[in-house]
Amino acid sequence: MVECSKDTLYSRVTLLSRATPIRIRAKMEKDSALEFERWREKKKIRVNELLDRFIEAHCPSVILEKALRHALFAGGKRIRPLIIYATSEALGVEASQVDPVSAAIEMMHSYSLVHDDLPSMDDDDFRRGKPAVHKEFGEATAVLTGDALLTYSFEVLADGATDLAIPDWTKILAKAGGAEGMIYGQLLDIESSESLLSLKELELMHRKKTGALFSASVELVTALRPGESFPELHLFADHLGLCFQIRDDLLDVQGKPEIMGKPAGSDKKNNRSTFVSILGEEEAERRLEYELELSLGCLQKIEGDTTNLENLARLIASRSH
């Protein structure tokens, strides 16, 4: 476990509201930023090709394949697979060894988005600038598309070359996406529309709904190094998940719909508890910087090359959509 004085660190964060992205981006040198962008694009292409080949080989229905491709290839950032590849670099694990889990976790993430957009859940008509799956193909097909992505996420694990890791991978992914992870978080989110959550309850909700797959992204890689312990990496993922969600909450009130690809203000419309509704914008900005500093502090304790994990953390904290 990383020893950090949270109170001291939090008191140092005096960032003005909405200035956080500028400050975070300024920390990355221009050449380093270009190199990171090339790395990110290369890995995104890699996971897109994995997903494309799998769907091509395994989907027998024309309509379902169209819906799956609509959900999977709508311009996602592939953050979770990128965490997997960057973690594998830090631990000296070959990219080919984590290809199955990078595809699997993106499928599980995409399933959650398809179901989140449904009228009975968040009731969002757009995702990444395109009609949500239920708007394009109908609600029944959207439910089945999410189901297919969820079950495919486990099937793709079984195609993994590292047979000994498959039982561990299956348990990690099932726990992250199941009743102890994303499903629990989504239930807490639904319940939050009835009454304002406390900050502690909000953090629990997002550690389950959003953070579970961030933590799983690291765990799926560390599973390839059995017998070794990586507490700093796991703590990094926990702070990173909160970074992602706080930025998401801020974008819902600050973001531009034409950049985000969906209308702003959906959290307020649905009466959801968020870091902004509980803390206010300025304090939420400070909390974002605080979680970023903690996540980067964790990486300083790791011996391997954490350059791309650091760059991902800054990207997550400064993103515009």
Domain that holds residue 212: 6-318
The answer to the question of residue 1 being in a domain is: no
Q: Which element (helix H / strand E) includes 40? A: helix 30-58
Domain of 216, CATH number, reads 1.10.600.10
Distance CA 57, CA 71 (A): 17
Q: What pLDDT shows up at residue 17?
A: 39
Q: What is the pTM of this model?
A: 0.88
Q: 224 Cβ partners below 8 Å, 6+ apart?
A: 88, 91, 93, 97, 98, 162, 165
Which CA distances in Å does 227 have to 95, 106, 224, 276? 21, 27, 9, 41
Q: What pLDDT shows up at residue 264?
A: 61
Total domains in the fold of the chain: 1
Q: What pLDDT shows up at residue 165?
A: 87
Q: What pLDDT shows up at residue 12?
A: 44
The answer to the question of residue 81 being in a domain is: yes
Each of the 321 residues of the chain gets a pLDDT tens digit; together they read 334 444 444 444 444 333 445 454 455 566 788 899 999 999 999 999 999 999 999 999 999 999 999 999 988 899 999 999 999 999 999 999 999 999 999 999 999 999 999 999 888 888 888 999 999 999 999 999 999 999 999 999 887 666 678 899 999 999 999 999 999 999 988 887 777 889 999 999 999 999 999 999 999 999 999 889 999 999 999 999 999 999 999 998 886 676 656 566 666 666 778 999 999 999 999 999 999 999 999 999 998 999 999 999 999 999 887
Q: Please answer whether residues 308 and 238 qualify as being in contact, where contact means their C-beta atoms are separated by less than 8 angstroms.
A: no
The answer to the question of residue 196 being in a domain is: yes
